[in-house]
A = this chain, B = another copy of it.
Amino acid sequence: MSEYIETLDTGQSVGTVQRQVFTFGEAGVGLVLESGRTLAPVSLAYETCGTLNKDGSNAILICHALTGDSHVAGVYREDDPKPGWWEIMIGPGKPIDTNRYFVICSNVIGGCMGSTGPTCANPRTGKPYGAEFPVVTIGDMVRCQRRLVESLGIDRLLAVIGGSVGGMQVLEWSVRYPEKVCAAVPLATTTKHSAQAIAFNEVARQAIMADPKWNGGDYYESGRPEHGLAVARMVGHITYLSDESMRHKFDRRLQDRCELSFDFEADFQVESYLRYQGNKFVDRFDANSFLYLTKAADYFNLENQYGDGSLVAAFSRAQGRFLVVSFTSDWLYPTYQSKTMVKAMKKNGLDVSFCEIEAPWGHDAFLLPNDRLNALIGGFLDRVSAECLSGGDDAV
């Protein structure tokens, strides 16, 4: 069932955005998760922009990163002026051109931006799930997205595109539903977390769980673990930048002072920036969701799940075309990890383009303006459209 919510005119930026919620499993069937537990009902908050063509062949699914949401493009109205998180990439005449493509982006399950997650009411108790929420996987997220896409009358996606944890979802789509995807664009991502990436997530989780207000995940009435969540975000934030980008942005510049304070105030701009990022995050995100989403990312392991330990075997299931992009200064998902996946794809004879983009901005680079990335994605979609779109561009 697709419940209509709002049609929002974004004017110049991306035309009409449809903001909706798709729900299934109200009768209790829901989704049997990879853990073996059942989740029901399941709601996905999603947005669409552009127009689906008659045969439903011009749809592109965008998968958001760890703490993202479904508001991927466009500006709603004056009272909510924040543009979508990939506004620079999606819109009329942009690389993901909403004059040509129908763009969908849904919030992942386990999240706290409108889809079913630990903040939602547990039907068994009527209270928020909290730590009663089942652990979900990237595979579970993608299976929900598949249900949503089917409900929209789309049998096969023209492309699935996403960076970071969104890129994991792209990879999952390409291997789990190979016949349902013409093309896949995993950006700044990996087929499995390194020990170091797991370590950073674990420290972030421990920071949340060390906060007495976390209270075993049951805090929705007693008050949220804001301090723990802020520290968790600060840890994550360092991994999204790079040594070089932090030097450019902050170096050792002092914050609002000419001399060192000789106390524990924020002397340096980088300290003040991290504190600000931590506090800002607390306003928009739920601590339990952060635990669940980082766990899903840590669990993701394409070669174990689909190839019995072999990435080549895992990608033997894939079809279609791939554009894989990494960034030189991304040390969270370094280029060597993209190269490993590209090699495994090529060993299966897949049509894969790979580019490592020179960029100093660290992992976040995939979200920042980059002419090279624009040209790569735009050009790749042109080719995919020519090869896969029924009747070419004119079908829209």
Contacts and interface: CB of A to CB of B under 8 A. Distances in A.
Interface of A: 35-37, 131, 134-135, 192-196, 198-200, 202-203, 205-207, 209-212, 227-228, 230-231, 234-235, 238, 241-243, 246-247, 249-252, 260, 262-264, 266-268, 270-271, 274-275, 278, 291, 295, 298-299, 301, 331, 334
Contacts of A211: 210
Given A243-B331, A243-B334, A195 B270 contact: yes
B203 A234 contact: yes
Given A252-B301, A334-B243, A35 B262 contact: yes
Given A235-B235, A275-B206, A195 B251 contact: yes
B249 A231 contact: no
Contacts of A298: 267-268
A340 to B, nearest CB: 12
Copies per assembly: 2
8 nearest CB pairs, A to B: A210-B227, A195-B246, A35-B262, A135-B262, A195-B250, A202-B271, A195-B270, A203-B234
Given A206-B234, A274-B203, A278-B206, A268 B198 contact: yes
Nearest to A251: B195
B274 A238 contact: no
B231 A210 contact: yes
A192 B253 CA distance: 12
A241 B203 CA distance: 15
Contact of A194 (B209, B243, B299): B243
Interface centre among A36, A135, A202, A263 (most CB of B within 10 A): A202
A15 to B, nearest CB: 40
A141 B106 CA distance: 55
B196 A238 contact: yes
Contact of A264 (B196, B209, B270): B209
A199 B271 CA distance: 6
A134 B251 contact: no
Contact of A246 (B135, B196, B209, B212): B196
